[in-house]
Amino acid sequence: MPQTVLRRLRTAAAATLFGATGLLPSIGAVAPAHAAPAATVHVANPFAGATGYLNPDFGAEVKAQASADGGTLGGLESQVAANSTAVWMDRIGAIAGDSAHLGLRAHLDHALTQQQGSAPVVFQVVVYDLPGRDCAAIASNGELPATAAGLNTYETQYIDPIAAVLADPKYAGIRIAAVIEPDSLPNAVTNQSKPTCATATPYYESGIEYTLNKLHAIPNVYNYLDIGHAGWLGWSTNMVPAGKEYAKVAQATTAGFASIDGFVSDTANTTPLTEPFLTNPDLAIGGQPLKSANFYQYNPVFDEYHYATAMYSTLVSNGFPSSIGMLVDTSRNGWGGPARPAALNSAPTTVDAYVAANKVDQKPFRGDWCNINGAGIGERPRSQPYGTGSPIIAFLWVKPPGESDGDYPDASHPHGDPHCDPAGTQSDGNGNTYPTDSIPGSNIPAGQWFPAQFRQLVQNAYPAFGGGSGGDTGPTVPGGLAVTGVTSTSVSLSWTASSDPAGVTGYSVYRNGAKVATVAATGYTDTGLSPATAYQYTVTALGAAGKVSAPSAAVTGTTTSSGGGGSSGCSAGYAVGNDWGSGFTAGVTVTNTGSTATKSWTVTWSWGGNQQITNSWNAVTSQSGGAVTATGQAYNGALAPNGTTSFGFQATYSGGNTAPTLSCTAS
Ligand code: BGC
């Protein structure tokens, strides 16, 4: 097919074909001049309505270990094979394959055989062979030198052959998600003080530009750039230049921003998806904010959920379209097992002790990355884990769990990486050193099977494997958690239903990290609370096969200072709807707690941070410094006793976004 007739269509027709759930609400539709064959349709979310490719090489490794281990553990291990993983083109030779590994064509031919019914197969391929690859480490340093000749080899011997295979019309019905060059641009942002990275960076930028141009020209290929993880680019001093670097690379391509479909975080890393007990980086313990703990080093982004949403906002503000999709590699960021805290421990009085007692990430240092001891498999790969409104469009398993990150130097491994040595140390750049946290007792090169690591990853999986339902991905995370009402002693919550192939049996509600109820409904009223107190809530879904979802995003409900009654009175509850790191929307529910009807009501609060309302609805708002006053409109000022109404607003902020305490007065 000549390139000029290839078009990338984002059309309403695509939504009908692959299921409307595949589209983000903010997609700008580009109408095709005429109907195009289905094979050339380029949808907004290639993972929606698709089935993930099962790599036979990976499945064989998993099954061999599961049958060798046997027993209960072997049974759990075998469930891993039901999940889609990415195929790594980690050297030129991987394109053709060898006696032990399928080549790219052979994988795609298998993908064709895996298509069932009308659902397309989505095939994830990692493009990973830049000149001077892995410039800040040795574990995965590459075969091509950071020179003009190396770049030429990359383009002609590596990218061109890959693009030629992917463009074969035979594969046009497969959705191909390309994860492009893990770690490269994050190293370009943060590691310029290392000569190897300073030298490699221009080749990284040119190589990625070339790759984006080649792959974007193939309509069924979707380009995702790697963005490191929260523990790497989370500081605003890294995130701000990262936004500019990604925009610069995109704008150098022929199609500009349109050549990139989205971004993937946590590739081959272990930063947790959520830190359910550390939800507020500005929470003061012993007079210090949590983010000042040594583990966080003033990086306010504790987990991948917040990282992906903050990066989305940063990238959009640098010119990327709002249709970009964020992906998270959850293959090894689970952190289950006995070491995982089960409830908030609020006893510690210093930030370091508080963080140590409550973090699910068990690494001693966030910069540790090689064969991490104690990590578990995370969320199963799936599309739209937070519904259609979230910038996070899928969880993937990019790193096949069980494959080593790298070996370390010893008598038989002369070129290994000291970062992978269980007896070695890592430096934080501030003169502090920490253990590498690498699993002891093995020394296995990058990409090769690591039996002891696989066992740990299965045993520490979160959500856990179990129930004998191999294909069950477990319940989706409850969405839309909101405070629907408060009194002086209660907070009412609602959320949207989760789904699970095995069925959902109910939900657990957590107050300040401790479970307070398990209910079947999608709502709950928490009673017996203290007046004028802020409580934080999250909800998990329980699947019929015994699996538990990750916690929902947290909301804060603040009880009123008095029970009202006898005269006029009102209370107000506050819930953040969507928070993208530099801005958010919130809804406020106003309830008449008095015994007479209100004529009007006024809600006031004072933000601790620099939140600034940009627009509001269903109330007249004004703001002076951090102090906000919101008054009901003519049409919603009057409330009968127990009657409720609500208003909302959008605001910008930077730094923390702690929910304020609201006051309500009625007349
Ligand atoms: C290695 C690759 C390997 C990939 C998947 C990377 O860390 O460098 O060689 O294919 O992991 O295991």
Q: Output the CA 446–ligand 1 centroid distance in Å.
A: 5
Distance, in Å, from the CA atom of 446 to the CA atom of 128, rounded to the nearest integer, reads 13
| Among candidate residues 165, 170, 222, the one with its CA nearest the CA of residue 43 | 222
pLDDT at 28: 29
- Measured from the CA of 400, which atom of ligand 1 is nearest? 12
Q: At 402, is the secondary structure helix, strand, or coil?
A: coil
Ligand 1 centroid to residue 143 C-alpha, Å: 13
For the stretch 155-172, pLDDT in tens is: 999 999 999 999 999 999
**Spatial separation of the C-alpha atoms in residues 667 and 662, rounded to whole Å:** 17
Nearest to 180 by CA among 128, 119, 137: 128
427-451 pLDDT per residue, tens: 887 888 999 999 999 999 999 999 9
Gap from CA of 543 to ligand 1 centroid (Å): 33
Reference 280, options 306, 317, 261; nearest CA is 306
219 against 643, higher pLDDT: 219
Mutate which of 88, 183, 370, 420 for ligand 1? The one with the most ligand atoms within 8 Å of its CB, which is: 88
Residue 235: closest CA among 341, 311, 319: 311
Distances (CA, A) of 31 to 7, 14, 261, 571: 11, 11, 18, 48
Domain boundaries for CATH 2.60.40.10 within the chain:
479-558
Q: How confident is the model at residue 644 (pLDDT cuts 50, 70, 90)?
A: confident
- The best mutation among 226, 403, 404, 454 to test binding of ligand 1, ranked by most ligand atoms within 8 Å of the C-beta, falls on 403
Chain segment 114-169, per-residue pLDDT in tens? 998 899 999 999 999 999 999 999 888 889 999 999 999 999 999 999 999 999 99
Pocket test for ligand 1, best of 140, 144, 266 (most atoms within 8 A of CB): 140
The DSSP annotation for 451-506 comes to HHHHHHHHHT-SSPP-TT-TT---PPPPEEEEEEEE-SS-EEEEEEPP--TT-EEE
CA angle 496, 479, 295 (to 5 degrees): 150
Task: Read off the amino acid at residue 515.
Answer: K
Q: State if residue 331 touches ligand 1 by the CB under 6 angstroms criterion.
A: no
Cα–Cα distances in Å, from 115 out to 60, 106, 173, 461?
A: 20, 15, 10, 28
Global pTM? 0.71
Task: Name the CATH superfamily for 479-558.
Answer: Immunoglobulins (2.60.40.10)
Tell me the C-alpha to C-alpha distance, in Å, between residue 646 and each of 220, 429, 483, 567, 622.
44, 49, 11, 21, 17
Looking up tokens 């693009």 gives 163
Could you tell me if 48 and 383 are in contact, meaning their C-beta atoms sit under 8 angstroms apart?
A: yes
pLDDT tier for residue 262 given thresholds of 50, 70 and 90? very high
pLDDT at 16: 21
The answer to whether 138 and 406 have CB atoms below 8 angstroms apart is yes
Catalytic site residues?
183, 405
Decide: helix, strand or coil at residue 588: strand
Cα 406 to ligand 1 centre (Å): 8
From CA 652, how far away is CA 550, in angstroms rounded?
27
Between strands 392-396 and 325-329, the pairing is parallel
Question: Rounded to the nearest whole angstrom, what is the distance from the C-alpha of residue 333 to the centroid of ligand 1?
Answer: 17
Which of 655, 601, 600 is CA-nearest to residue 626?
655
CA atoms of 243 and 624, how far apart (whole Å):
31
Q: CA–CA separation, 329 vs 33, rounded Å? A: 37
- Check residue 173 and give its pLDDT: 95
Q: Which residue has the higher pLDDT, 379 or 1?
A: 379
The token pair at 96 is 């053709």
Atom of ligand 1 nearest to the CA of 446: 1
CA distance 605 to 509: 27
* pLDDT beyond 50 at 3: no
- Phi, psi dihedrals of residue 66, rounded to the nearest 5°: -60, -40
d(CA 169, CA 172): 5
d(CA 281, CA 279): 7
pLDDT 10s digits, 6-40: 223 222 222 222 222 332 222 223 333 333 334 45
Q: Is 23 exposed, middle or buried (0-12, 13-18, 19+ CB in 10 A)?
A: buried
> Per-residue pLDDT averaged across 452-456, rounded?
97
Residues of the chain with CATH 3.20.20.40: 14-341+348-459
Q: In this structure, which topology does domain 570-666 adopt according to CATH? A: Immunoglobulin-like (2.60.40)
Identify the H or E element spanning 150. helix 148-153
Write out the two tokens for 597: 């009807």
For the segment 33-42, what is each residue's pLDDT rounded down to a tens digit? 333 334 458 9
User: Which residue's C-alpha comes closest to atom 12 of ligand 1?
Assistant: 447
Give start-end residues of each CATH 2.60.40.290 domain in the chain. Answer: 570-666
The encoded tokens of residue 363 equal 């690494």
Nearest-angstrom CA–CA distance, 280 and 547: 27
**Domain 14-341+348-459 annotated CATH 3.40.50.300:** no
- Residue nearest ligand 1's atom 2 by CA: 447
